[in-house]
Copies of this chain bind each other. A is one copy, B any other.
Amino acid sequence: MLRSHTCGELRITHVDQTVRLCGWVQKIRDKGHMLWIDLRDRYGVTQLIFEEGFVDAGLLALARSLGREFVLKTEGKVVERVAKNDKMPTGDVEIRVTSVEILNPAKLPPFLIEDDTDGGDDLRMKYRYLDLRRNVVRKNLELRHRMAQQTRAYLDGQGFIEVETPVLIKSTPEGARDFVVPSRMNPGEFYALPQSPQTFKQLLMVSGFDRYFQIVKCFRDEDLRADRQPEFTQIDCEMSFITQEDILQMFEGLVRHLFRQVKGIELGPVPRMTYADAMRQYGNDKPDTRFEMRFVALKDLTASADRPVREGIASPSLREGGDTSAGAGEVDLVGGKGFGVFDEASLVVGICAKGCADYTRKQVDELTDFVRRPQIGAKGLVYVRCNPDGTLKSSVDKFYSEADLRKWAAAMGAQPGDLLLILAGEAGKTRKALSELRLEMGERLGLRDKNVYATLWVLDFPLLEYGEAEQRWFAMHHPFTSPKPEDISLLELDPGAVRANAYDIVINGVEVGGGSIRIYRRDLQETMFSVLGFTPEEAQRQFGFLMEAFEFGAPPHGGIAFGFDRLCSLFGGADSIRDFIAFPKNNSGRDVMIDTPSEISGAQLEELKISVRK
């Protein structure tokens, strides 16, 4: 090694030793007769000292000529500092330098290599290799490394085998859009990059691998939102001869292991909630349970929230089927008082914001503006102040007496000092809007602390959701998910009522993993494809290999996949996954550092037998 020690390891016990350090110039302080350099590497920072009289003039001049981010190899003696710095682990010592070699000079970086940098997003992405020098970014990737190693340690310890599944696979129209790869050896044909190793892990179960996992890159050619990447990483797992309960136990075990080993946090058992309850109580299938503030319906004509439609498409007609979910009786505490908005609504639902009765008019107006934003889409917000003196004051006093309001307050468990916030309208949209308002209130009330972790299993997802635009059913999880055995008979009669053996694990309102018990018999898989609108021929062409595999002795099996980028960002207390990916792409799918995607040569296109359309 060019160094004898790293820049993070020298302590008072090293005093008088001659050491060799390598690293980057973090900072130079020049007091004329004395000059200090902070030398940085991955492991820390060590102070070098150059003092007139102690070092020869040439060396001092050399030190003076250095710039930020120069790469040095230095030799010197460890001495005790006069002014110690207890903020850095090496702060008791400094190095009296006897020689400096410039291993590489550096141009002035386009932004400061500091925790608080002056670089904007675009500049930091273009010079990502400089951004990665910043401690805050490097620590994210160190965290990711520890998460990966601990994930493997846990699963290996539980008898899981890590198996690499292929990256060059087959394109299937079901699911998101595939990235494809033209095959030169098979002109006119294409591979696809996997959106997940789903079918392969199921085949490994058919092979008897019993317990499989993989930390694996997956790919989706979707229009990118702020926090999506065209390539992302999953912890992908599958088990045989299990019930859903075995999966829940095994993988909350993984989450507990990670919290313990990586964060030093002991989690209790992960609470559970059905999808129907999550939708009713939080208007969200991934509720943030760091705080309560559950929904209370003042009127509910639908009494069932577990018939989802594909995101963004409301379909009230679908909710007319019989309610198969338990526990939701019809209520109406708001009708017949002449308030048309409530009278016409199929759902009137509210939350109780503890201690917010003193919200000013301006604050309430802010909340009203919040729910009226187009992406939330409520028409208005009704509030009831539960004043400290016990009186109640609402924005609908014209229609409702204090006695009426008192019933609402009682139903919502309000105390004097609380503020009730109520939305009304079509059930699905209203729940969604109130969920956003609940999260906003949680934020305002400081109930969403990044250092507090609330976990939750959401169970019993619907098997199918209806696509109005496509006029057909879609698998809510994927086409290989098993319906609950007791609901199989409904599969062709009332597809929307069928619940799946599917589960998500949610932490702080973020879905970090999801999975299901799989179909493992050909006949049921064929039925499923038929419900999804596949002709038998299409099903056979796309998934014939899997259905045939089921005929050669497939065991009952199920699994889960965790979004690894997301899990890391959650552990790192960050909102964006991008800072937990070494070389992310921007929202146009570009890597601006290496400038890709880019044009390829005519010769390459010719070899691949493809043309670019103008």
Write the residues of chain A forming the contact surface with B, with a CB cutoff of 8 angstroms. Answer: 1-3, 22-24, 40-43, 69-71, 73, 103-107, 109, 127-130, 132-133, 138, 141-142, 144-145, 148-149, 152, 156, 161-171, 173, 177-193, 199-200, 203-204, 206-210, 217, 219, 221, 223-224, 230-231, 233, 240-243, 246, 520-521, 545, 549-556, 581-583, 585, 588-591, 593-601, 604, 607-613
Contact = CB atoms under 8 A, between A and B. Distances in A.
Contact of A520 (B104, B181, B206, B555): B104
B170 A596 contact: yes
A545 B594 contact: yes
Q: Which of A104, A142, A556 has the most CB of B within 10 A?
A: A104
Of listed A161, A210, A231, A556, residue having the most chain B CB within 10 A? A161
B186 A597 contact: yes
Contact of A22 (B104, B166, B241, B550): B241
A132 B42 contact: no
Contacts of A241: 1-3, 22, 73
A190 B598 contact: yes
A608 B180 contact: yes
Contact of A191 (B182, B549, B596): B596
B209 A132 contact: yes
A159 to B, nearest CB: 9
Contact of A582 (B141, B164, B585): B164
Contact of A521 (B104, B164, B240): B104
Secondary structure class of chain A's binding surface, majority of residues: loop
The 4 closest A-B pairs by CB, nearest first: A106-B553, A132-B207, A189-B597, A170-B596
B597 A242 contact: no
Contact of A545 (B230, B593, B612): B593
Given A180-B182, A180-B604, A200-B583, 6 more contacts: A69-B552, A164-B233, A168-B596, A170-B598, A190-B598, A192-B600
12 contacts: A1-B246, A22-B241, A41-B208, A104-B556, A145-B156, A168-B596, A189-B599, A200-B582, A217-B217, A545-B594, A611-B612, A611-B613
Given A42-B210, A171-B604, A230-B168, A552 B109 contact: yes
B609 A183 contact: no
B190 A184 contact: no
A581 B164 contact: yes
A224 B595 CA distance: 30
Nearest to A184: B221
Given A553-B105, A555-B103, A590-B186, A585 B168 contact: yes
A265 B132 CA distance: 40
B107 A551 contact: yes
B177 A180 contact: no
Nearest to A199: B594
Contact of A549 (B24, B129, B169): B129
Contacts of A209: 42, 132, 138, 141
Contact of A550 (B2, B104, B166, B552): B104
Contact of A553 (B104, B138, B184, B203): B104
